[in-house]
Every structure is written in C-alpha cells, then in structure tokens.
Amino acid sequence: MIITDVLTHLIELTGNVADSYSTALYVIDYEEEYLILRDHLSLNPKTQLREEIRIHKEPLESVVRSRLPHVIDRFDDDPFYKKLFKRREDLKSLMIMPVIHMELEGVLFAASKSAYSFPPKMQKIISSFTDQIAWHMYNEGRRASLRGRSWPSIRQMNVFSRLIAESPDREVIADRLTRIPPSILKCDAIAVVWFNANGDVGKIQGHRGFTQELSGMNVIPGKGIVGSCAKDRAPILTRIIGKRKTILFSDQEKPESLKSLAAVPITLNDSLLGVLLCGSHKQDGLSQPDLDKLSLIASSAATSVANSNGQNRWDYDKNLDPITGVYNYRFLTNFHDAISKRIFIKNKPVCFLSIELSNLPELYKKYGVIKVDRLLRQIASGFARVIPSPKHVFKYSDNSFLLLIMRKSLLEAQSLETRLSNLFKNRPIYVDGEPMQVEAEWGMSSYPEEGKNLLDLASLSRSRTSQSEKATTW
C-alpha cells in the first residue's frame, strides 16, 4: 500500500471513530508559515476546505507551539470556521490534533455536526491514528530529503571530531566549533557557551553569524533556548513561528532573524560543561539529523575539555611545591611575564623579601623529614597570615621563600620584615609539641627603584640574604 492510500485510510478511521462530518489533514510549511491541505474526507462532497491556512492565527499558533490538542466547542459561534471553510457549515465542534514524529509534521482536523465536544477517551484513540500518520509522513519526507541532503561521510565526521577532540583548551575548542564545515552542517549562526564548575552561570566563548556582540553575556540555566538546554541536559530542536520573540541566551539580547534552532549540551559524566547552539534563517534549515550530528560533535568537545582539564591540572600540580603547597620557582620562571603584568602597576610599589633558612639541613638531620616538612608548612602558613593582601608567597628554593609585598612603601615593607623576624626571634617553633630553632637570613629589593624585571629583583633580594651581618634565630 502506498503512503497516499495509507493516509486516506487513517483519515477515514479518524472520521469513523470521531463520527465527524468532515476530517482533513494539513501539512506544515515552515518556510512560508502555512498549513497546506494534504487530504480530507467529508460526508458532503460539496464541502470546501481552504487549501492554505496561516499558522500564526489562533488557535493554530497555540497548537503548533504547545504540540497539544485543541477542542473548540460551539463551533458555530467561533470565527475560525472562516479560516477553515470557504463557506459556512452548520458545525457544532472542532478538534485540532497535532501530527508529530520527531517534529511537527502537520495537524489533523475533525469537525462534528452532532456533538458539542470530543471526550478525552476519543482524543486518546485518535492520537494513535495521528502517530501513524506522522510516521508515514516523516518517512515520506525523509526519503525526499535524503535525495537532496545526505549525511557527511564517515571520514569527514571522523576528521572533524578528531580535530575537536585534540584541541588544547576551551578557547580553541570554541573557535573550532564555530567553524563546522558546510559539508557537515549548514547553518547561518553558531555559538558556544561554557558554564562554570557549578553549572549556574555560562559565558559565550565563541560565536558567528549573529547581528550583535555576544561576548561577555551571562547565560542562566532555565532561561532561553540555551538555558533550557543546559538545565534539562537535553537537545532542543525548535522552529520560530510568526513574530513571537524567542530568547536565545539572555533577556539583554536583541531579537535575531533566525527561524530554526538546534541546541545540544556538552556534558561529561552528567556534569554540564557547555552548550552548542546553531541557527538557520530557514524554518526547515535544521532537522533531526542535524541535531544528531551536533550531538556527536558535542561528545568530542566534552572529551577535549576533559583532556585539557587533566593537562591543566598536571601543569598546576608541577608548579606547586609538594611540601608547602605554594607556587615554586618553576612557576615564577615559566610565567614571569604574566606575573609581571599582574603585579607591576604604575605608581604601585612592590617589595621582594627573600628568607633563607640557613640551618634547614641540620634540622632535617636532627628531627627527620616528616617533622621538618611540617615545620616548613607552618612557616609558609605563617607568612600567608601575617602579610596583608594583596601578596604572593613562593618557595624559591629548597631552603628559601620569596614574599612579594604589594602596594606597600619600602619603609612599610622593612617594618613588616622586622615584625616577621621578631615574631619568632629567640623563640622556638613547636611541631607536634617539639621545639625547633630556625635560623634565617633576610634580603629585600624594591620595584621600581631598583629595577623593573621580576626575575632580576628576585635574584637581587636573594643575593642580599648572604650579605646579612648576622642570622635571625627563630
């Protein structure tokens, strides 16, 4: 049996079950925003249904938006009959059923002259018919679309997915995602939103094809297309019907002229990482196969984020002193340019205070590794507590620390140095109840009086520890 015969048979079944005077199937044309008459059955051969009906007229727009049935009682008093019939019919009620398979394919009308309502039980029975109608219409449309639009080759998808999976960080991932080849997916606009660790705020990292600047705009889960995708952790495929405003990212955005949208979450182990949004100016520009392709691409992006997070964590750990937990000399040398830009501000002094623990080797021999490691942790913690913010504490070498005292004059920094030395002067530090005497040598340099290079100033302060007339005993 060909599809046309199947649809006619299902329309007849609907008419018999609903005892309807007239039954009609309309298919949806998203591009022109019309419902177009596909087939109908009427007890009166002279009944004339309109071949086209505007979608954005109520109650059709509500049915198209909500995907829920709508029943009009007392149809003879409702003006909608003028939009459905070319001449007046003596009707009592009308039922509009959405025809859905993957997406809305059309609507099914059933009009009655004998009843003022269609009971819920009857609606449930007829909904099974509309499911079958939708399935046949979907497959009919799919066969037609496959002749003009095919999936990319496995090789194309593999090459692009590998490119995404091998991206070094989120910034590169976002940049590559906004450049999906047209041979894989054709779209007019695309944006990548990354969410923070808690998943409660998102930032638009990369985008193209939009009429406004989106960078820096906050995205909240539950608000707009992207927010709904993030909250539900589920893909969204929707079309914008009529002139209604659809929020994509935030209430602060300006309206866009996009007619179809596809959004997929970027998740890893149920943890939200971001959302990938695509838009088209055509209402049939994005389909379910496109949503499937985006989901595969989003999976590669999630893998790449996981790998970059692991790499970042490894980089972070190798730049921390394993004993004290503060940044080490490696971090200071590898990122001195970035640190310099952060701390060297015009007319804002920075003092470099080096502390060398001169008797640390003897303490290790006397008290053992475990207790002296705890001692070093106590000293680093003490520095962090005493020095006012903003500050930086580094483990400069095995037996020395470097403190960056910011926004304090040289006299204020020298006073702080005296306070630190006096805090433990002639007084032991207790570790697990056991007293330890620590000998320290101090050295200081200042920015900008003595230079503007971070590493040179750090070396200068370190060299001055050996010039101390006498060591300070803690």
| Cβ-based burial of 247 (10 A; exposed 0-12, middle 13-18, buried ≥19) | middle
pLDDT number for residue 446: 92
pLDDT number for residue 189: 93
Mark out the alpha helices in 320-403 (DSSP H runs). 329-334, 336-343, 360-367, 369-386
pLDDT at 470 over 50: no
pLDDT number for residue 434: 87
60 torsion bin: left (phi>0), alpha (psi -120 to 50), beta (else): alpha
Torsion of CA 247, 250, 252, 254, to 10 degrees: -40
pLDDT digits (tens, 9 = 90+) for 12-38: 888 888 888 888 898 887 766 778 888
pLDDT at 373 over 70: yes
pLDDT number for residue 193: 92
pLDDT digits (tens, 9 = 90+) for 329-349: 888 888 888 888 888 888 789
pLDDT digits (tens, 9 = 90+) for 210-228: 988 888 788 999 888 999 9
pLDDT number for residue 350: 93
Place of tokens 């990482």: 273
Nearest to 174 by CA among 322, 259, 32, 277: 277
Residue 77 pLDDT level (bands cut at 50, 70, 90): low
pLDDT number for residue 142: 55
Mark out the alpha helices in 263-346 (DSSP H runs). 288-318, 329-334, 336-343
Helix (H, G, I), strand (E, B) or coil at 228: helix
Mark out the alpha helices in 149-169 (DSSP H runs). 154-165
Domains of the chain: residue spans and CATH? 3-148 (3.30.450.40), 154-316 (3.30.450.40), 327-473 (3.30.70.270)
Q: What is the CA radius of gyration of the chain?
A: 36
Question: How confident is the model over 105-118, as a mean pLDDT?
Answer: 83
List the strands of the sheet with 103-112, edge to edge.
Answer: 52-54, 34-42, 22-29, 103-112, 93-101, 70-73
pLDDT digits (tens, 9 = 90+) for 258-282: 888 999 999 888 788 999 999 998 8
pTM above the 0.85 mark?
A: no
Question: How confident is the model over 153-174, as a mean pLDDT?
Answer: 82
Nearest to 351 by CA among 282, 214, 443: 443
pLDDT number for residue 146: 41
